[in-house]
Amino acid sequence: MMEEGVKEEARLCFYPFLSAASNYVEASGVTLDALITAAAFERARLRGKERVREAIREGAIRKPVIMRTAQAEMELLSYPFARILVSCIGNAHLVRRYALSEAKSAYNKLLEDSSTGASADTDIIYGMAQEFEIKIDLSRLPHEHVQVQMSFVDYLRFTSNLRDKRWKLVNRGLEKGQVKLRKGEFLRIIQEAIYARISKDMPLDVPAALCESIRKYTTDIEVELEERRKKFGDSGFETSSGFRVKDPSCFPPCITAILSNLKDGVNVPHTARFAVTAFLLNIGLTVDEIIEIYKNSPDFDEERTRYQVVHIAGESGSTKYTAPSCSTMRTYGNCVDSDDVCEKINHPLSYYKLKLKQKQKRKEEQQDKSKEKVKTEK
Ligand code: SF4
């Protein structure tokens, strides 16, 4: 049974980026030094480390069942410690992945907490609006649906990174400067606000000596990061069955850049999504493998993604698409980081084939040289 009076602490530990949460930590008198060194906070430190590892492995932060105040406090303190760990490691990919995992998990918890059917559901929505200084009006529609209205100025402030066309202001039915949203949509906007807040000062400017003193926590995380990098290749995108096509290191720079943005949870424009999807289908990845790659996207919706990928693959009876040429890529601003191989080709698929050929040739030359060496040594 939950200890009496623990409700507020439990709320704060599930949303540790709230100003009330940092005020709580400040008022508790726990110093940075104590958090880093005191034996009493070892549980918070271990949980902080686990937070980061969950972000790396799952792209989500687990929300534990909270029964006692002390447990809620450790959970709450694990958040600033996790931020310190991520900052000391200083890997830009980890910073984005961690911030996105925290924001996504908070969004899921918000959806859950505001769907109990109780009157407190709307308090949560008002609370978040107030936290991020968004003025809203709520109304109840039939079937208990909640509608949120916010000014288009705030709407634009928080949706600039959302690429899906349903977020475009022209598709929202603007009325007297107000945008109407379903509850889930409003909370999705709150996820953006949370992400912006968490990633704002990251990596934090942590003194080197402090980073050194917590090496025993960061080392395991760095090992895990490196293992994942090796497992999924340098382009680092994650498919459950691994790459059917062996060599992402031969991908053209434009495709590598798009994949890297997807991996980091950065929103990628439609034209780039189309290009990367068609490219990967053309070189033999399956629909499921491509869906896996999109899982990190801030706006990931499995059903929609599957529909789009299947359509590009031509499996739904439509035309099978070929990846766009370099000139089309240039037109849409998707040709980035071009290199000397790019000068010899006019299609990303030709780039890939040429690079594979060059690599194979180098390998054979190397093998010949080794054979020669063995012969002369004999
Ligand atoms: S030139 Fe072609 S292959 Fe090279 S980066 Fe641009 S679009 Fe990609």
Each residue's pLDDT tens digit, 127-168 = 999 999 999 988 876 666 778 999 999 999 988 877 667 788
pLDDT above 90: residue 347: yes
What is the percentage of the chain residues whose pLDDT exceeds 70? 90
pLDDT, average across residues 111-121: 81
Atom of ligand 1 at shortest range from CA of 336: 5
pLDDT, average across residues 289-304: 81
Atom of ligand 1 at shortest range from CA of 334: 7
Nearest Cα to 140, choosing from 155, 152, 125? Answer: 125
* 325 DSSP β-pair partners: none
Q: Which of 258, 347, 351 to mutate to test the pocket of ligand 1 (most atoms within 8 A of CB)?
A: 351
Centre of ligand 1 from the C-alpha of residue 351, in Å: 8
Structural domain includes residue 281: yes
Instruction: Choose the weakest-confidence range: 101-105, 292-296, 367-371.
Output: 367-371
pLDDT, average across residues 4-21: 86
Centre of ligand 1 from the C-alpha of residue 284, in Å: 20
Q: Is 337 exposed, middle or buried (0-12, 13-18, 19+ CB in 10 A)?
A: exposed
Q: Are residues 242 and 352 in the same domain?
A: yes
Q: How many CA atoms lie within 13 A of 216 on its CB side?
A: 6
Instruction: Respond yes or no on whether the N-terminal peptide bond of residue 16 is cis (omega within 30° of 0).
Output: no
Centre of ligand 1 from the C-alpha of residue 81, in Å: 42
Structural domain includes residue 58: yes
DSSP assignment of 325-357, as one string? PHHHHHHTT---S--TGGGG-SSHHHHHHHHHH
Centre of ligand 1 from the C-alpha of residue 280, in Å: 15
Residue owning the nearest CA to atom 3 of ligand 1: 348
pLDDT, average across residues 331-347: 93
Structural domain includes residue 186: yes
Centre of ligand 1 from the C-alpha of residue 343, in Å: 9
Nearest Cα to 199, choosing from 293, 295, 94, 125? Answer: 94
Structural domain includes residue 248: yes
The model's confidence at residue 243, banded by pLDDT at 50, 70 and 90, is: very low
Nearest Cα to 82, choosing from 212, 221, 185, 183? Answer: 221
Q: Are residues 237 and 343 in the same domain?
A: yes
Specify the pTM: 0.68
Q: Are residues 153 and 289 in the same domain?
A: no
Structural domain includes residue 164: yes
pLDDT, average across residues 302-307: 89
Atom of ligand 1 at shortest range from CA of 253: 5
Structural domain includes residue 222: yes
Nearest Cα to 88, choosing from 210, 196, 264? Answer: 210
Q: Are residues 343 and 282 in the same domain?
A: yes
Ligand 1 neighbours (beta carbon < 6 A): 252-254, 326, 329, 335, 338, 342, 348, 351
Report the mean per-residue pLDDT for the chain. Answer: 86
- Tokens of residue 240, six digits: 């459950």
Residue owning the nearest CA to atom 8 of ligand 1: 254
Q: Are residues 170 and 258 in the same domain?
A: no
What is the percentage of the chain residues whose pLDDT exceeds 90? 49
The model's confidence at residue 345, banded by pLDDT at 50, 70 and 90, is: very high
State which of 229, 245, 275 marks the end of a domain.
229
- Top pLDDT among 319 and 278 is at 278
Q: Are residues 267 and 319 in the same domain?
A: yes
Centre of ligand 1 from the C-alpha of residue 354, in Å: 13
Decide: 255 and 348 in contact? Cβ < 8 Å. yes
Structural domain includes residue 373: no
Q: Are residues 67 and 190 in the same domain?
A: no
Q: Are residues 189 and 331 in the same domain?
A: no
Highest mean pLDDT among 53-57, 81-85, 293-297, 299-303: 81-85
pLDDT, average across residues 292-314: 84
- Tokens of residue 246, six digits: 């062996």
How far CA 59 is from CA of 55, 99, 156, 299, 327, in Å, comes to 4, 10, 26, 13, 35
Residue owning the nearest CA to atom 6 of ligand 1: 335
Q: How many CA atoms lie within 13 A of 371 on its CB side?
A: 6
Looking at residue 284, its pLDDT comes to 82
Q: Are residues 29 and 48 in the same domain?
A: yes
Structural domain includes residue 28: yes
- Tokens of residue 27, six digits: 């008022």
Q: Which of 342, 343, 346, 352 to mutate to test the pocket of ligand 1 (most atoms within 8 A of CB)?
A: 342
Looking at residue 361, its pLDDT comes to 86
Decide: 204 and 87 in contact? Cβ < 8 Å. yes
Q: Are residues 63 and 16 in the same domain?
A: yes
Atom of ligand 1 at shortest range from CA of 330: 7
Residue type at 114? Answer: S
Q: Are residues 46 and 116 in the same domain?
A: no
pLDDT above 70: residue 2: no
Looking at residue 1, its pLDDT comes to 55
- Top pLDDT among 327 and 68 is at 327
Centre of ligand 1 from the C-alpha of residue 247, in Å: 17
- Top pLDDT among 231 and 247 is at 247
Centre of ligand 1 from the C-alpha of residue 329, in Å: 7
Domain hosting 157: range is 103-202
Q: Are residues 198 and 208 in the same domain?
A: no
Number of domains in the chain: 3
Number of Cβ within 10 Å of residue 13's Cβ equals: 24
Looking at residue 73, its pLDDT comes to 93
pLDDT, average across residues 245-266: 83
